[in-house]
């Protein structure tokens, strides 16, 4: 009498569709034959099993837009309802559905005559769209392992403690435990993603589970494949996300994950994300939180390498008078590192106009910055054409450079897995295995050693610190992406920059490396600490989420106690960071912006990420005009002096002039004594006042050549020495002789 459920399972499986989550478009249809299904094992309730597979359905299905009928069962159009026959009592059968572990996107095929509908997005456990009060559990081991910690990719601290651990963990080990999510309205649930516990001390994960759905939390319906309850195969390690599609979408407000088996040496712990589409519900009285709707018509989607390149070309075609696309180098796999330049005179450095850069995608799986850069270039182009005065002023007074993808190889690796399945680390490193934020030359150590020996600034510079020889050899462990960025930094006199990251909500500023090398974290400020704190504060206080007084923390750190800014070394030490290198080797001030708790959010989240960051992106760029600027010229020829040094009294960090003699020195409002000096010239000092106005104070310098310099130039040109110069040199020699003679 076992043929009835087998036939039903075969018919249902025949209409299942495999959908590669995160694929650009379309679906791939795979048919499961009755022969294959007959090979699957029937087992008793709760027993583990490993045989047989069931191909998943797509997230979307236009035939399932309405709630289930009263009999709580959906009848598919091709399903045959068998006649009722007397049956011999048998054990309850359970279907084991093998893990759907998506390791690459399936190629899209043309849809059939009827559209299959758009795939459902995640509810937002990882992105925090789901609030803590929407999560419940049957039991909790302790508060730090409560239901509120059962979010996909949530991270624990270094030590397991009572507040911020890396999963929900049940207090008991039995099959009656559950993790529940309240979607707050009727939702068509289509899939579940699970992970184990994030911890360096224990190993805990769920290996199989059931799924249950309810409208009222009293009556629960278990996910079935025909007449058989489904047990989904779950995780094999703590970190790899595993996606299971429901054989048939289920409609309800609440969904539970009911663990059946778990790692034999661990306990019941999981992190999860739920996939589902909210259904229209005119009777709901729930007051939804206010979220601003984007008014900018931008391309809100994830762009792979080819799509990114096409978008940048389209922006350049739309605004050729203010844009230029160029490449600074290639990745290990040969992908070009494209930059979008936005300026009223693209391709040229204009005297007195500061250079600004945004860098995103240093870690390939932290994608919010990448999409923000693409949105920003579209926005600046469109608003400039509309005559937006703020944008026009920014474009005409600043030369802007946007690098959306510093690690294109890593991004492509994460993109293939998709937004929910790339996990916490896939794509972070380059193809060759480098973490680019630890790959720049360590210039902090030689500077601090020179300071300890009192050699700064007379014997050792406090700026433009040379790159060590070991770092420049051909076989040095330096990524090609890092070399390309360093070369870029050296060619263009950048003044201000920001480095986009993801996985937290905070802005960090240099130094990133602790001065005490044995310390994991330690406050390590620069000479320009007050300026860096201002720059970080500008972004944090204008960011829509960071500006909230009581927003939920992402993982373990409550950065609200610091105003959502922190000294990088006081968070965790990073040797060889791009921020520190930029500050010590060039004139450029740079901060790191952690943009979002979710490193790789679903594309439905991208419009909101743009709204969260749009004002911050614009306001931060405008800070490049804060402080003083000017040109250092030769008094006789009025030509600019290259590499003249600008010294600000009481600030132990100098800068240098660009090729044309122009400079920019970021400073907070106040009165400063500034000195310009250059080899072969007498130094010149003047007082420069920085106001609260949003433009730099002009402080120009004219330097006079020393007698020795004039002598060198005359001798080099083979000319006769003037009498005045000969007299001056004689006086200098006499003065030097008297100072050396004994008294």
Phi-psi region of 391 (alpha: psi -120 to 50; beta: other; left: phi over 0): alpha
- Tell me the β-bridge partners of 400: 342, 356
Question: Using CA of residue 181, residue 183, residue 187, residue 192, what is the dihedral sign?
Answer: negative
Beta strand 269-278 pairing with 221-222: unpaired
Residue 609 among the catalytic residues:
no
Local structure of 339: helix, strand or coil: strand
Q: At what angle do helices 723-740 and 707-717 cross, to 10 degrees?
A: 130
CA distance 151 to 168: 8
The full 3-state SS of 210-239, as one line of letters, equals EEEEECCCCCCEECEECCEEEEEECCCCCC
Query: Is residue 73 within a helix (H) or strand (E), and if so which, with residue range?
Result: none
How far out from the chain centre does Cα 743 lie? 70
Query: Is residue 242 within a helix (H) or strand (E), and if so which, with residue range?
Result: strand 242-262
Cβ neighbors of 89 (< 8 A, separation 6 or more) are: none
b or e along 235-246 (b: 16 or more beta carbons within 10 Å of the residue's beta carbon)? beebbbbbbbbb
Question: Using CA of residue 606, residue 56, residue 245, residue 120, what is the dihedral sign?
Answer: positive
Q: 594, 605, 609, 622: which one is catalytic?
A: 594
CA distance 593 to 498: 7
Beta strand 670-677 pairing with 684-690: antiparallel
Burial label for 109, CB within 10 Å (0-12, 13-18, 19+), is exposed
Query: What CA–CA distances, in Å, run from 102 to 125, 320, 600?
Result: 20, 41, 16
- Asked if residues 596 and 368 have their Cβ atoms less than 8 Å apart, the reply is yes
Structure tokens at 615: 């004002």
Catalytic residues: 594
């Amino acid at each position: 009498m076992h043929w009835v459920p087998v036939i039903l399972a075969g018919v249902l499986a025949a209409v299942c569709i495999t959908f590669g989550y995160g694929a650009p478009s379309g679906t791939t249809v795979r048919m499961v034959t009755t022969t294959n299904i007959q090979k699957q094992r029937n087992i008793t309730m709760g027993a583990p099993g490993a045989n047989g597979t069931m191909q998943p359905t797509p997230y979307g299905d236009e035939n399932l837009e309405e709630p289930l009928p009263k009999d709580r069962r959906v009848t598919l159009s091709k399903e045959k309802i068998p006649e009722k026959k007397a049956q011999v009592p048998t054990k309850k059968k359970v279907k084991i559905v093998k893990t759907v572990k998506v390791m690459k996107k399936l190629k899209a095929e043309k849809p059939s005559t009827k559209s299959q509908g758009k795939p459902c997005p995640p509810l937002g456990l990882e992105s925090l769209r789901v609030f803590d009060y929407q999560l419940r559990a049957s039991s909790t081991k302790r508060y730090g392992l409560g239901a509120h910690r059962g979010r996909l990719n949530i991270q624990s601290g270094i030590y397991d403690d009572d507040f911020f651990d890396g999963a929900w963990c049940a207090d008991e080990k039995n099959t009656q435990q559950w993790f529940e999510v309240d979607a707050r309205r009727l939702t068509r649930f289509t899939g579940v993603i699970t992970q184990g516990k994030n911890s360096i001390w224990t190993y805990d994960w769920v290996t199989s589970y059931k799924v249950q759905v309810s409208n009222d939390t009293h009556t629960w319906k278990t996910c079935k494949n025909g007449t058989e309850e489904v047990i989904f195969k779950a995780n094999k390690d703590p970190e790899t996300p595993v996606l299971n599609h429901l054989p048939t979408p289920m409609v309800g407000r609440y969904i539970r994950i009911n663990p059946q088996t778990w790692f034999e040496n661990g306990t019941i712990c999981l992190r999860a994300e739920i996939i589902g589409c909210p259904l229209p519900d005119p009777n709901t009285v729930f007051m939804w939180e206010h979220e601003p709707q984007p008014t900018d018509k931008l391309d809100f989607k994830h762009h792979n390498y080819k799509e990114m390149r096409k978008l940048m070309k389209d922006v350049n075609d739309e605004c050729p008078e203010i844009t230029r696309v160029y490449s600074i180098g290639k990745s290990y796999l040969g992908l070009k590192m494209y930059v979008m330049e936005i300026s009223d005179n693209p391709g040229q450095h204009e005297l007195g106009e500061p250079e600004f850069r945004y860098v995103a995608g240093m870690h390939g799986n932290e994608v919010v910055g990448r999409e923000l850069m693409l949105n920003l270039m579209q926005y600046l182009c469109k608003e400039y054409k509309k005559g937006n005065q703020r944008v026009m002023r920014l474009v005409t007074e600043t030369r802007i450079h946007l690098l959306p993808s510093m690690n294109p190889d890593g991004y492509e690796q994460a993109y293939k897995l998709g937004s929910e399945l790339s996990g916490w680390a896939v794509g972070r490193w380059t193809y060759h295995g480098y973490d680019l934020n630890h790959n720049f030359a360590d210039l902090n150590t030689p500077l601090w050693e020179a300071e300890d020996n009192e050699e700064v600034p007379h014997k050792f510079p406090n700026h433009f610190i040379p790159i060590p020889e070991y770092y420049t050899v051909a076989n040095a462990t330096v990524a090609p992406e890092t070399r390309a960025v360093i070369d870029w930094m050296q060619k263009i006199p950048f003044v201000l920059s920001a480095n986009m990251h993801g996985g937290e909500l905070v802005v960090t500023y240099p130094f990133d490396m602790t001065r005490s090398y044995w310390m994991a974290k330690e406050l390590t400020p620069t000479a320009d600490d007050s300026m860096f704190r201002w720059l970080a504060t500008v972004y944090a206080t204008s960011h829509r989420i960071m500006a909230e007084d009581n927003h939920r923390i992402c993982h373990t750190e409550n950065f609200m106690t610091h105003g959502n800014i922190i000294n990088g070394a006081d968070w965790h030490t990073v040797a060889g960071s791009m921020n520190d290198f930029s500050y010590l080797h060039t004139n450029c001030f740079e901060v790191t912006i952690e943009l979002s708790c979710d490193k790789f959010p679903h594309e439905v989240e991208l419009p909101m990420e743009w709204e969260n960051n749009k004002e911050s992106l614009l306001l931060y760029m405008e800070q490049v005009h804060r402080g003083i600027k000017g040109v250092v010229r030769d008094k006789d020829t009025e030509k600019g002096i290259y590499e003249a040094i600008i010294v600000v009294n009481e600030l132990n960090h100098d800068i240098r002039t660009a090729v044309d003699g122009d400079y920019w020195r970021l400073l907070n409002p106040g009165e400063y004594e500034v000195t310009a000096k250059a080899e072969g010239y007498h130094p010149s000092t003047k007082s420069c006042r920085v106001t609260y106005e949003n433009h730099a104070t002009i402080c120009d310098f004219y330097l006079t050549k020393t007698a020795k310099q004039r002598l060198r130039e005359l001798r080099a040109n083979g000319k006769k020495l003037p009498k005045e110069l000969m007299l001056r040199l004689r006086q200098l020699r006499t003065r030097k002789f008297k100072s050396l003679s004994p008294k």
